[in-house]
Structure 1
Amino acid sequence: MDGGTMDGTASAGTPRRHRIHPAWPVAGVTFLVLLAAAAFRSSISLLLVPIEEDLGWTRTDTSLAVSLNLVVYGLTAPFAAALLERVGVRRTAAWAMLLVALGCLGTTLIAAPWQLAALWGVVIGVGTGSVALVFGAIVANRWFVARRGLVVGVLGAAWATGQLVFLPMLAALVEALGWRAASVAIAALCALLVPVVLRVLRDRPADRGVLPYGGTAADVPAPRPTPSAAAAVGAAVRVLRETALTRPFLLLAGTFFICGWTTNGIVSSHFVPAAHDHGMGATTAAGLLAVVGIFDIVGTVGSGWLTDRFDPRLLLAVYYGLRGVALLAIPALLGPTVEPPLVVVVALFGLDWVATVPPTVVLCRTAFGSERGGIVFGWVFAAHMVGAGAAAAASGAMRAASGDYTSAWLLAGALALAAALGSLALPRPRSAVEEPAPAPV
């Protein structure tokens, strides 16, 4: 019987009846895990100014912690697939939520900048990096045959939804009760998810005695030995060694480095402090970032549709070009009140926030083949987060040196325009017929 109906079939042939296929609760909890990770990501820019004012630190002190968090998050991602294969989806998600909870709770006790760097950078960086993009993709691929694309899109939009849901609430909490209350709230959210993860998540449909949703026995991969941690890590490193000096990799990693610089690095981390410098309240600035989240959902779904129909190189050039224009305009538009031109620029920025991901994934696959393309994208994504970390530190240093963020916005805008030109230099993507066959394993 079809795994997408009310009935699932165990791998051993024993039928089990479910009013709701277990794949949907698993996807729901996965979405909540990604949402909780997004809660921390969205809180960073809200907490910088209150922490500095409370503890007497500089923007350079706090920006270092943000930068380390982004870099560790990005460098964890390429090895996340190996971790999920070795440790399992369920245990990885539970440990990730526990690490984020402990990191946020520990932040309320900090007394020195290195402690913030250790908690935000290392503890929370590893926790959020363990449940990055690859986590949702693995869950969708294992549990769904029918509706797989829909589930991947919804899980991919979890970051944007988290920003939309949590930013205004956390901003109000910071203004009413202080930054420590916001940290405790995020810690409580992640801690409460741990028992839910352990209760609902399972590594594979066979663990619940069902087939993937909408699948048949033919869609269940044959059992294979769990790779050793050394073998899995070695495979990731080997692919990097084989591709790192090729022109497609350098261009893809370089443009995605700039993508991270111009999104998580400066906007997520410094938009609220920059708005504060111009007299805008934290709640108002958080509301503008929520607008980014709304349009990000629309832009990501639309970009996936466009990528199936147009040259992904041209799409990337358009996305980065529009982003560059938006970044260059922000210094002139920030002020104590929100004017319509600023809303338009923020909406434009939101439309292409994650829109760069579908074309980049396609270009990784067509340039390096289906076998290596996924691992290559993991390293390209690591470059994205390294760029974000570099931007977080550099933008904070520019603010500390000049007293405002104007130079940081202008640099980010110029880099985005450079990425638009770099996208056009990428090799033309091959069709599925032209794509080389994967090397034998």
Structure 2
Amino acid sequence: MRLRIHPAWLVAGVAFIALISAAGFRSTPSVMLEPLHDEFGWSLGTISAAVSVNLMLYGLTAPFAAALMARFGIRRVAAVALLLIAAGSGLTIGMSASWQLMLCWGVLVGLGAGALALGFVATITGRWFVKHRGLVTGVLTAGGATGNLIFLPVLSRITEAHGWRTASLTVAGVAILVVPLILWRLRDHPGELGVTALGGVTALGGVTDPPAPPTAGAARTALRALRDAARTRAFWLLAGGFAICGATTNGLVGTHFIPAAHDHGMPNTTAASLLALVGVFDIVGTIASGWLTDRVDSRILLGAYYALRGLSLLVLPSILAATAHPSMLVFILFYGLDWVATVPPTVTLCREYFGAAGPIVFGWVFASHQVGAAIAASAAGLVRDRLGEYTWAWYGAGALAILASLLSLMLFAGKHLKPIAAGIGLAVPAKG
């Protein structure tokens, strides 16, 4: 008998590759801060502002991208997103003013990467998986960490040997190469291939048809989902915690760890390798979190993840040094395991509270993640410019992470609320 592999696994594999490539340019800000500062004389605050625009759009695009995927299909939206990333990355080589950095690095790449953000993950897992949904969410989320692991050391060496422009062109080329794969193998819904989602069956054991696209425009659908979700207490607790998650990962550590380590005498290549090592443990931690999400209450997981992250950030200022000593390696291991472990339980809770609208609502929750990241990226740059060091940025982030732990545990108060059940963006919110 022929061994049959469910096509959901193939779709997940293609999505994983797309997420890796999308992570490429998002890996470059930390290795390009110093080169751009040296060449153009822009302050770290100015460059960090461009990073903030990127992070902000990366998050705000997610809910609209999820609605576009519901209307036009996952494949088309993903292909256009990769072309935007390639355009933004490639056009940076000709820039000469900071506003051009904002346009290319901030706007174009932010929009493209946002369309392939965690809303994309939630849409794929929501349509193609019933069984193993938490685990696959963890694996796909790890795609970003895998991209960091692949690109960070490579781009750091390319930047050091050949300049930041060559690094930008490298990322643009990789994004373009993935587009044909997306168009060839990615499918929008199991019904297109005559199957059900993995682990899902209909009442008659047959094949479900693809859902009809929403009649409202993508923007209206996304905004309606936000309106309905914003009437619930659960949304604000999830969004508040995830905003702090973004501030303490992409915004602070992802953007400023390399220059902060450099302030203590550590070479940029060594710091970039440590940040890439975070990606190694991130993959393990996120997949493990997905496995746990299928078995443990997501509220408990979020409370534990945020509390442990806060404690590690409070310790970081005392262990930064010129060399990668054992204490720093322990921090890298621990922080890597916790980096985006918050994603699978957050996706699960969005589906639990908001039903079919879960992917779009999660897009809005993820938008809060990137708003937090954008604020932290700019704030940390200003702290460094004003005080000459990052110490208070680390302490502030640690305190915020502990607050996020408390917000997550507060979700227990609404644990038994009836989930919102309706079509995408047409939910009638539960009270509380």
TM-score scaled to structure 1, two decimals?
0.87
Deviation of 1:96 after TM superposition, in Å, equals 1.0
- How many residue pairs are counted as aligned between the two chains? 422
Residues 28, 376 of structure 1: CA spacing in aligned structure 2 closer, same or farther, 3 A cutoff? closer
Deviation of 1:176 after TM superposition, in Å, equals 1.0
Q: Which amino acid aligns with 1:93?
A: A
- Rounded to whole Å, the distance in 2 between the matches of 1:72 and 1:227 is 24
- Rounded to whole Å, the distance in 1 between the matches of 2:14 and 2:297 is 35
- Rounded to whole Å, the distance in 1 between the matches of 2:327 and 2:73 is 47
Q: Which amino acid aligns with 1:299?
A: G
Q: Which amino acid aligns with 1:249?
A: F
- Rounded to whole Å, the distance in 1 between the matches of 2:358 and 2:180 is 35
Q: Which amino acid aligns with 2:214?
A: P
Partner of 1:438: 421
Q: Is the aligned partner of 1:362 residue 2:362?
A: no
Query: What SS is found at the alignment partner of 2:62?
Result: helix
Q: Is the aligned partner of 1:36 residue 2:21?
A: yes
From the CA coordinates, give the structure whose radius of gyration is larger: 1
Which ranges in structure 1 are unaligned for 5 or more consecutive residues?
7-19
User: 1:35-434 counterparts in 2 under 5 A?
Assistant: 35-143=20-128, 150-205=135-190, 207=192, 218=205, 220-228=207-215, 230=217, 232-244=218-230, 246-366=232-352, 368-428=353-413, 430=415
Query: What SS is found at the alignment partner of 1:425?
Result: helix
- Rounded to whole Å, the distance in 1 between the matches of 2:12 and 2:238 is 30
Deviation of 1:150 after TM superposition, in Å, equals 4.7
- Rounded to whole Å, the distance in 2 between the matches of 1:142 and 1:410 is 41
1:226-266, Cα deviation, whole Å (9 max, x unpaired) = 22452x43233223223325432222211111111000100
- Rounded to whole Å, the distance in 2 between the matches of 1:215 and 1:252 is 28
Deviation of 1:215 after TM superposition, in Å, equals 6.9
- Rounded to whole Å, the distance in 2 between the matches of 1:21 and 1:312 is 27
Deviation of 1:27 after TM superposition, in Å, equals 3.1
More displaced, 244-253 or 186-195?
244-253
- Rounded to whole Å, the distance in 2 between the matches of 1:249 and 1:88 is 26
Deviation of 1:204 after TM superposition, in Å, equals 3.7
Identity in percent:
54
Deviation of 1:390 after TM superposition, in Å, equals 0.7
8 Å CA contact 2:134, 2:294 repeated in 1: no
- Rounded to whole Å, the distance in 2 between the matches of 1:213 and 1:426 is 29
Over the aligned positions, Cα root-mean-square deviation in angstroms equals 2.6
8 Å CA contact 1:76, 1:126 repeated in 2: yes
Query: What SS is found at the alignment partner of 1:267?
Result: helix
8 Å CA contact 1:83, 1:229 repeated in 2: no
Residues 235, 94 of structure 1: CA spacing in aligned structure 2 closer, same or farther, 3 A cutoff? closer
Residues 89, 248 of structure 1: CA spacing in aligned structure 2 closer, same or farther, 3 A cutoff? closer
1:361-407, Cα deviation, whole Å (9 max, x unpaired) = 333344x3423444332211111111001111111111111112112
More displaced, 129-138 or 63-72?
129-138
Residues 354, 188 of structure 1: CA spacing in aligned structure 2 closer, same or farther, 3 A cutoff? same
1:83-136, Cα deviation, whole Å (9 max, x unpaired) = 112222222122111111110111111111111111111111110111112323
1:205-240, Cα deviation, whole Å (9 max, x unpaired) = 55556666677784643354322452x432332232
TM-score scaled to structure 2, two decimals?
0.89
More displaced, 188-197 or 370-379?
370-379
More displaced, 295-304 or 266-275?
295-304
- Rounded to whole Å, the distance in 2 between the matches of 1:84 and 1:98 is 16
Residues 210, 241 of structure 1: CA spacing in aligned structure 2 closer, same or farther, 3 A cutoff? closer
Query: What SS is found at the alignment partner of 1:108?
Result: helix
Q: Which amino acid aligns with 2:230?
A: A
Q: Which amino acid aligns with 1:413?
A: G
Q: Which amino acid aligns with 2:174?
A: L
